[in-house]
Structure 1
Amino acid sequence: MLIKSRLQFIIAAALGYFTLYWLFKSSLLSLPLSSFKIQQCRSHPLWSSIASTHFKKDDPNAVAYTYINMNDKDGSHNSSRYSEDWTEKQKNNSSSQQSTHQQQHHLVHNDGNDFGHVLILTPFKQSVQFIDRYFDNVKRLTYPHHLISLGFLVSDSTDGTIEKLRERAQLEMDTRQQAPSLSSSGEESVSSWNSFDSISIFQKDYQYDLPANEDRHAFNVQITRRNIMAKSRNTLLSAALTEKHDWVLWLDGDVIEYPETLLEELMAMDKDMIVPNCYWHSYNEEGGYDKNNWQETEESLAFQKTLPEDQVLVEGYPELITHRKLMIDMRFENNQTDLFYAVPLDAVGGTCTLVKAKVHRNGAIFPPFPYQHQVETEGLAKMAKALGYEVWGLPNYLVYHYI
C-alpha cells in the first residue's frame, strides 16, 4: 500500500508539473509586445525602484524599450519662437547645403561603408514640449535605424516629460511590432530598417531646480548647473553604453533642426570627437548658439596661469573674458566655404557631439569637478585630449538650437 501510495503521488506531481508548464508556456507566448516585465533593481544602489522592460525576448524584431527609475526610495512650457519661414537668401543657402549633404550621403553608401552601431544619448529636464519633435527628427535620419540605439535620462521634471517620453517609446514599439522584418524575397524590409535597435529611459533626480526668476544661462548659476549636468551625463553614459556601441552621439533635446544625413557625414570624418557648429535662427535672422566649442589662444593660456587651480571658466559672459576663439565665429573664415572644412578644438559643447565609444571606454567622462579649469562637456574634451585623442569641429556644418 505504501509503495502504491507513493507511486500515485509521483504520478500526480508529474502531471501537475507538466500541466503548469504547458499553461505557463502558452500564456507567455501569447503576451502582447507591450507587456511589462517588472523587476526589482537591487544590484545597484541607485536603481532602487523598478525597471520596466517592454519587449518580447523570443522576438528578434522587438524594440527593447526599457524604463528604469534610478532614484533612491527615500530621496527626498515655453512657446517656441522658431518659425519655418526663411528669407529667400536663407532658402537658397539651405538648398545648396542640402544638395551637398545628399551628395556626401550618396558617396558614403556607394562605398558600402558600415560605420557600426551608434548610441544617441539625450538628457531631458522639463522638456515635454520638445519630445515629439525630437522623435520626428531622429526618425528622419538616413543612417540605418537598426544600427541606432536611443538612451534618455530624465531628471527633476514635473511637466510630464517622463510620461511623454514613455508614451513615444511605446509608440515606437507598437510601430515596429506591426512591421514585418523580412520582405517576401527574404531581404530586410524598409519598415524593419526604420526601427531603432533599442530605447532606454532612465530617471534620476538631483533635487536641483533653478529659482523661477533665474535663467538657466545666467552667469551666476553656471557652475552649479554644469556640475549637475555633468553628473547626469555620466549617469546616462554608464547606464546605456554597452559593448555593441561603436559611437556615441550626444544630442540635446532642444536641438530642433539638423541634416538627415548627420550621422554618416560626421562618422565619415573619422575623428575621435567631432562637433558641428550649433546656431539658432528665426524667420529672418540667425546667429551662433553653442559657445562651448572653442580653441585656446596664447592669451587664454597665459590668463589661466594666473588663476587658482579650482577656478572654473565659462564662455560668452562679459563678467569673465577668457580670450578664447569660439567656433561660432569661424564660419566661412578666410573664405573657407567647404561644408566639411574641419578645425582642431580644445573644448566642445554638448548640443551635438559625436564621440567614438572607445574614447569614453578609455576614461573620458564629463568631470563634475574642475579639470584644467573646466567642467562637463569642455572638461570632457580636455580629458580626451589628455588621453591622446583628437577633438575637431566643423565651422560650416550647421545644426540649429531652439531659442
Structure 2
Amino acid sequence: MPRCSKRKQLLRHVQDVLVTREASALLRDVLGDEDSDEDDLDEFWEHNISSREQFEKPNPTVITLLHSNTPVTSVLHPDTPEQAPLNQLVSFSIKTTSQPLREYVETFPQHGKSEPGQHYRIENTEMLTKHGDRDKDSVLIMCVFNDAESWGRGRSMKDFFKLIGSFDYPKAKVSIALLTSSMTEFAKAKVLFGSYIAQYPRLSVIFRNDFSPGGLTRANRHDHSLQASRRRMLARYRNYALLSTMESWHQHVVWVDADITAIPSGLVLKMVQSGRDILEPMCVRNIRGKWFNYDSNAWVGQRKVRSANDKDFVPGPLNARSFHNLPDRSKPFVPLDSVGGTMLYVRADIHRQGVMFPVHYIIGSEWGREGYDGIETEGLCYSAHFLGYKCWGMPQDAIEHVL
C-alpha cells in the first residue's frame, strides 16, 4: 500500500477518536518527515477542535486476558433480590388547588401493590410568601412510621403534633413531613392537617407500603436475623420521604421517631444554633422508675470485623463505646462514629450532597458480596466524613422514648 494512503488512514483514525493535538506530533514521529504535510495536520486540528484544552490525552490501552468472544457474567445481577414490578394499571398523576391554601395530591404506582401510593401536601401560602419566614433557618421535621401502633400505647398522631408544638421554635419556620405504610393513618393525617395548617407553612404526608419485607412485625423487629431487611426497608422509606419533601429553602432537617414522648422545648433551637453538621441527643426510657438507654446505634470507636466465611455475623463493638457509656459527659458535644434515628439533626445541605441513609451494609462491601456493618443510620456518619462532615452526640440533652 502506498505510504500516502497509510497516512490518510491514520489521519482519519485520529479524527474519529478526537485525541489531543499531542497525537499529531506523535504521528509525525512515527511517519517521519518524508512526505509529511504540516499544513494538513494543522488544518485538521483547527477545523475539528476549537480548543485543545477541551480534550484529554487518550487513555492507555486496557489489557485484558479475555478473548474478544469470551462471554462474561455479571457480578451484581445474580445476587440482586427480586423486586415486584410497578403496577402498570396505576398512572402517575398530580392535582393542585390554589389560594388561600394550596393543596397538592399525587398518586403513583407501587411495586407489587394494587393500591397506588399517595402524597398529600397542604401549604399556607401567606406564610410561605411572607418575608423572613423561610429565608433563615427553616426546619423540616421528618417522621417515618408504620401504623397507629407506631405512636406507642395510648398515643396517636395528635400527641406527635402536640410534641412538635411544644418546641421553642417559630412555627412559621417549621415544615412537617410524614410517611406511613397505613392508609388509615394517611387519611387521619389529611384531616388533622386542617387543624394545624394555620400554624405551619407546609404539612406533607406520604402513603407508601411496598418496601416492607414479608414476615416483619412489631414484635420481632429486633431479631438479629431480620435486621438487614428491616433496616434496608427503613433506609428506603427515609430516603424516599426526604427526597419527596425537602425543598431548596429548607436549611435544617430534624428526624423524630413516632414513639418519642418527650423532647426538651429548646432542643431544636440548640441544634440549629450549634453550627454542627449532624447531631443526636441521648435517648432514654423509664422502666419502673429507672432510666435506661434506648438507642444502641449511637457509638464511637472500633467495631468487630467479619471473617471471610462467617455467614452469621452480627455487628457489634470491639473497642467501641455506646453513646450513653462515654466517660466524659461534661461537654455539650462529643464525637460519634455512628448515630441512631430516634431524634437526629442533619444540616439540610449535607443531605443534598448525597449523604443519605445507606440501604445496604457499606462497611466491608465488595462487588460480589454485601458488607457487614453500617446500614441505615449507622452508615450516615461514614458517608458524611468523606465530605468533611462530622457527627456529634449531645450527652447533656435527653429525649424520652415510649415504654
TM-score between both structures, scaled by the size of structure 1: 0.63
* CA-to-aligned-CA distance 1:146-203 (integer Å, 9 cap, x gap): 1011111112x36x32222222212213xx2xxxxxxxxxxxxxxxxxx111001111
In 2: Cα distance, 1:46 partner to 1:242 partner:
30
Instruction: Mark the runs of 5 or more structure 1 residues left unpaired by the alignment.
Output: 1-44, 77-113, 177-194, 316-320
Contact 1:65 1:198 in 2 (8 A): no
- Would you tell me which structure has more helix in proportion to its own residues? 1
Deviation at 1:324, TM superposition (A): 2.4
Distance 1:263 1:312, change over 3 A: farther
In 2: Cα distance, 1:358 partner to 1:311 partner:
37
Contact 2:186 2:206 in 1 (8 A): no
Contact 1:154 1:202 in 2 (8 A): yes
User: Residue 367 of structure 1 aligns with which residue?
Assistant: 358
Distance 1:310 1:48, change over 3 A: farther
User: Residue 327 of structure 1 aligns with which residue?
Assistant: 323
Q: What does 1:70-109 align with in structure 2 at a 5 Å threshold? A: 70-72=108-110, 75-76=113-114
User: Residue 345 of structure 1 aligns with which residue?
Assistant: 336
User: Residue 124 of structure 1 aligns with which residue?
Assistant: 145
* CA-to-aligned-CA distance 1:216-258 (integer Å, 9 cap, x gap): 1122211110000010011001101110100111111111110
Distance 1:364 1:47, change over 3 A: farther
Contact 1:293 1:326 in 2 (8 A): yes
Aligned residues: 282
User: Residue 194 of structure 2 aligns with which residue?
Assistant: 170
In 1: Cα distance, 2:89 partner to 2:246 partner:
17
Distance 1:312 1:116, change over 3 A: farther
Deviation at 1:267, TM superposition (A): 1.4
Contact 1:65 1:200 in 2 (8 A): no
Q: RMSD of aligned C-alpha atoms?
A: 3.0
User: Residue 204 of structure 2 aligns with which residue?
Assistant: 200
Contact 2:224 2:314 in 1 (8 A): no
Distance 1:278 1:170, change over 3 A: same
In 2: Cα distance, 1:308 partner to 1:260 partner:
49
Which amino acid counterpart does residue 194 of structure 2 have in structure 1? Q
In 2: Cα distance, 1:382 partner to 1:277 partner:
20
Distance 1:307 1:199, change over 3 A: farther
* CA-to-aligned-CA distance 1:5-35 (integer Å, 9 cap, x gap): xxxxxxxxxxxxxxxxxxxxxxxxxxxxxxx
Contact 1:51 1:67 in 2 (8 A): yes
Q: What does 1:120-159 align with in structure 2 at a 5 Å threshold? A: 120-127=141-148, 129-155=155-181, 157=182
Larger Rg: 2
Distance 1:66 1:172, change over 3 A: farther
Which amino acid counterpart does residue 387 of structure 1 have in structure 2? L
Deviation at 1:73, TM superposition (A): 8.4
Contact 2:306 2:313 in 1 (8 A): no
Distance 1:365 1:213, change over 3 A: closer
Secondary structure in structure 1 of the residue aligned to 2:156: helix
User: Residue 292 of structure 2 aligns with which residue?
Assistant: 287
Deviation at 1:214, TM superposition (A): 4.5
Deviation at 1:314, TM superposition (A): 4.3
Contact 1:67 1:201 in 2 (8 A): no
In 2: Cα distance, 1:329 partner to 1:323 partner:
13
* CA-to-aligned-CA distance 1:280-315 (integer Å, 9 cap, x gap): 114511100011111023xx2xx3274689998545
In 2: Cα distance, 1:73 partner to 1:328 partner:
40
Which amino acid counterpart does residue 75 of structure 1 have in structure 2? K
User: Residue 355 of structure 1 aligns with which residue?
Assistant: 346
User: Residue 90 of structure 1 aligns with which residue?
Assistant: none
Deviation at 1:65, TM superposition (A): 5.7
Comparing 304-313 with 234-243, greater Cα deviation is found at 304-313
User: Residue 7 of structure 1 aligns with which residue?
Assistant: none
Secondary structure in structure 2 of the residue aligned to 1:142: coil
Which amino acid counterpart does residue 327 of structure 1 have in structure 2? F
Instruction: Mark the runs of 5 or more structure 2 residues left unpaired by the alignment.
Output: 1-87, 115-134, 150-154, 364-372
Contact 1:70 1:202 in 2 (8 A): no
Contact 2:298 2:323 in 1 (8 A): yes
1:377 partnered with 2:377: yes
TM-score between both structures, scaled by the size of structure 2: 0.63
**Higher relative contact order at CA 8 Å, sep ≥6: structure 1 or structure 2?**
1
